[in-house]
Structure 1
Amino acid sequence: MMLIRILFYALPAFALATFGHTQVPPPVLDQDTATRLQIYLDEHSFGPGKIDGHWGDFVGKALQRFQAAGGQAPSGQIDAALQKEIENISPVYTSYTLTEGDMHWVGKVPSTPEGMAKLKRVLYRSALDFVSERYHADPNFIRQLNPGRNLNDLKKGDTVQVPNVQPFQIETVQAVPDLPPRPEFAQRIIRVDTKARMLDLTDSNRVIASFPITPGSKSLPAPIGTWNINKVTTMPIFRWDEAMLLHEKRSRHFYTIPPGPRNPVGIVWIGLSKKGDGIHGTNSPDTIGRSASHGCIRLANWDVARLVYQLTVGMTVQIY
């Protein structure tokens, strides 16, 4: 079982809100305040996207949902009470020292499915890639926090400055082909807003968590409609079949790609009753919300790692 702290704070009940798709007017924030806000939202399971020390579209969407969960108007602005809360995040940054075990998760990753199929695990492409995902951060932000250093050649024993967020620990993710049912979650619903590019986890018509997504593409859009979860796998093996990806038809020409953080579907596969479609992680967290996928719903690995233990087979998924 994955040993990740799941933070679903006890927030007041609120009626499920329908959020608009317009961007929230950005407040003027310095880097430390923006980072505190991103950490605060992330640790309340309202994902702001990758931590980068800046206000962004997903920060605004996460803040709106968090405010609604607290019974407030979803203004997307920082009031005095929230300002006081985020100021309690101290220090804003911390240090992390790479271990020998960490370096076992770093290796060369071929660019083709044929090449990846020859690996035992699809690892992080670099130690910077490892550290960035561990701390939910944009690699460029990690570089910014470590000025004057060459982070391309990090090794065991090197210490880097990182955002002080609860780390995603890849080493605790076990390969489980079928997670056991969780009957207590059967009435929960996942709502995927493909225009806002947000996934909301709801319980009794209340949003309890929300994360940024990439929802398919124009040529292969996410499957609009109501579906059910029929399989939940951690550390999945991925069957890469170009015909299936492009035309939703299986062929005899495919590659079996082993598990790992840079597997094309990341660390989690949540299969839907719509054949071939699912909710899953990613091998490229920088693209979440900013590019296309092959009809599926993609989340950052650190977000799907929290989502996966708050759902169950049979749950309803609404995509619109």
Structure 2
Amino acid sequence: MKKNVTLGWLSYPMVAVAIGATIAPLTDASAQMIFRRQAQPQQQQRTLLVTPQGEILDYVPERGSVTVRVDTEGRNVLIDQYGNVVATEVPARSYFPRAQPQNDYSMDQPQRVPPGVDPGYGQDSGYASTNADFGDGVVTGTVPADPQIDRQPLDEPSMLPEPDSQYSDQGQEMQPMTKTAQPEIPVGKLSRNEITALQVFLDREGVSPGVIDGKMGQNVNKAIVSWEKISGETLDPNNSDDIIQRLRLSGGMAFTTYTISAGDAAGPYVASIPEDYAEKAQLPSLAYTSQTEMLAEKFHMDEGYLKELNPGVDFTVPGTNIKVVDPGPAKSGQVAKIIADKGLKQVRAYDESGNLVAAYPASIGSSDTPSPSGTVTVDRVAFNPGYTYNPKVNFKQGGNDKVLAIPPGPNGPVGTVWMALSKPTYGIHGTPEPSLIGRTQSHGCVRLTNWDATELAKMVKPGVTVEFTE
């Protein structure tokens, strides 16, 4: 399997400045040298030309059609006339899989996995994909982000807990307990590494635990129950040896190392995200505000947990090695029906045969602004959507009384994806606050983490039914 890593900053024409590269034309000598290196069979080549999508380039671009930029690691980066990355010349050993050491059961041991392609949300959103390239660091690029979409205005997410909910501190995470909440699964004294291993395994299986933070809670419980429904097996969260073995079979250990690239460090980033929608509308994008926020979403992690795992690390320095989790490739397939369970705060996806294929923690409506009832359909899917604020349609934010065009970005009101429903102004979408999913409410829409919403969006088409249940 391959994983795709796309970095939105490479779509900017000033990429040479961003990576501190030198620019040189593709001379006859350099072209011949690159061609000679690519002439051997792929598995025998010392170097490969790898595209931004993680594929091996099967041709050498014509002279004059590209320029060669030498990055800080001395690799040749081929750039076309529009500033897009065509391919990066990388060592073949960083692309092809290497044998993994056997009988190593340490969850803390970093594991190197080969790079490859994952649907992610890099190409569609213009932002970093959900999974990283764990090779020696391929410079990558992305396609332009989608424009402002023509659609109804949306509702504003609410960060207030559900009224009359009783909160229960399940060891480490505060979760609202509703009448239809999943019963607690008895868990012994597990370390954060062990809980993280459980969360990573569930995430790889398509039953999202929400943000990976090394803490038990309702989101993890719901994911375990959903996994048991999908697999027909029983999963004991207290059996760490079983979890480790399942991790190995699903792609390797929970933790791995990742090298911060020049693209990671460069962004683009914004200094902060204002609360006022009029101020939001003035920004060029609602991009990430820091490297840690971007990296946390890339690896499905809680930002605070990422920092805890890497004390004292400067995430702005390219070449820095950090400890992260490996959530694996995104779930793929075709979804025919979605159930938005209001009481359980969960979205479940089913195939044409009625089999459960994926499940995600969600924030769904509230008592004051409830989500729709009954069955609706998915009208359309938009990645990296802009947001049209209209105070006459949904709600009034602050003192804003005019229609505003809010730019796209992962910190936008609907995150990185919007699945419009047949009931106007309602949809399933991402969020700029992934750690609050399943713990708060929305003003009627269905909110998922950005990575979960994108994964689901890539498995649905217009016409898919969405049933709201109590």
Q: Per the shorter chain, which TM-score range?
A: 0.7 to 0.9
Aligned match of 1:122: 286
SS in 1 for 2:196: helix
Q: Which moved more, 1:292-301 or 1:87-96?
A: 87-96
CA pair 37-260 structure 1, distance change in 2 beyond 3 A: same
Give 1:99's aligned amino acid.
S
Q: Give per-residue Cα distances to partners, 1:28-84, cap 9 Å, x unaligned.
A: 322222111111111111101110112221111111111111123588775975553
Partner of 1:136: 300
**Alignment partner, residue 105 of structure 1:** 268
Q: 1:167 to 1:245 in 2, by over 3 A?
A: farther
Larger Cα-atom Rg: 2
Structure 1 position 125, deviation (Å): 1.3
Report the alpha carbon displacement of residue 96 of structure 1 after superposing the two structures with TM. 2.5
Residue from 8, 30, 33 that aligns with 2:191: 30
Greater per-residue helix proportion:
1
Aligned residue for 1:236, secondary structure, equals coil
Residues 136 and 167, structure 1, Cα contact 8 Å, conserved in 2: no
Q: Could you tell me which amino acid in structure 2 is paired with residue 218 of structure 1?
A: S
Superposition deviation, residue 294 in structure 1: 1.7
**How far has the Cα of 1:298 moved from its partner?**
0.5
Structure 1 Cα separation of the partners of residues 286 and 254 of structure 2: 32
The 5 A counterparts of 1:182-261 are 185=334, 188-203=336-351, 204-246=353-395, 253-261=402-410
2:324 equivalent in structure 1: 162
Q: Quick one: structure 1 residues 38 and 100, their matched pair in 2 at CA, closer, same or farther if it must change by over 3 Å?
A: same
SS of match in other structure, 2:306: helix
Relative to structure 2, which stretch is displaced further, 53-62 or 194-203?
53-62
Secondary structure of the residue aligned to 1:40 is: helix
Q: Could you tell me how far 1:296 is from its partner in structure 2? A: 0.3
Q: 1:206 to 1:256 in 2, by over 3 A?
A: same
Paired with 2:447 and 2:328, the residues of 1 have a C-alpha distance of 21
1:5 is the counterpart of 2:100: no
| Selected match of 1:305 from 454, 457, 464 | 454
Which whole-Å deviations, capped at 9, do the CAs of 1:254-296 have from their partners, x for residues lacking one? 2111111111101111000111000001111121111121210
The one-letter amino acid of 2:410's match is P
Say yes or no: does 1:296 pair with 2:445.
yes
Paired with 2:388 and 2:231, the residues of 1 have a C-alpha distance of 42
2-structure distance, mates of 1:123, 1:216: 26
Cα deviation for residue 309 of structure 1 reads 1.1
Separation (CA, whole Å) in 2 of partners of 1:74 and 1:159: 33
| TM-score, normalization by structure 1 | 0.80
What displacement does 1:158 show?
3.6
Preserved CA contact (<8 Å) 1:36 1:87: no
SS at match of 1:304: helix
Give me the CA root mean square deviation: 2.9
Partners of 1:246 and 1:23 in 2: how far apart? 37
Identical-residue share of aligned pairs (%):
30
Bigger drift between 39-48 and 237-246 goes to 237-246
**1:95 corresponds to which of 245, 257, 269:** 257
What is the TM-score of this pair, normalised by structure 2? Answer: 0.56
Name stretches of at least 5 consecutive residues in structure 2 with no aligned partner: 7-52, 54-116, 121-179
Q: Map residues 57-76 of structure 1 onto 2, 5 A cutoff.
A: 57-72=218-233
Cα deviations across residues 108-164 of structure 1 (Å, max 9, x unaligned)? 22232111111222100111111111110111111210124466xx34444322112
Contact kept in structure 2, 1:64 and 1:76, CA below 8 Å: no
* SS of structure 2 residue aligned to 1:244: coil
Between the two proteins, the alignment pairs up a number of residues equal to 288
Q: Secondary structure at the match of 2:456?
A: helix
Q: Which residue number in structure 1 is paired with residue 37 of structure 2?
A: none
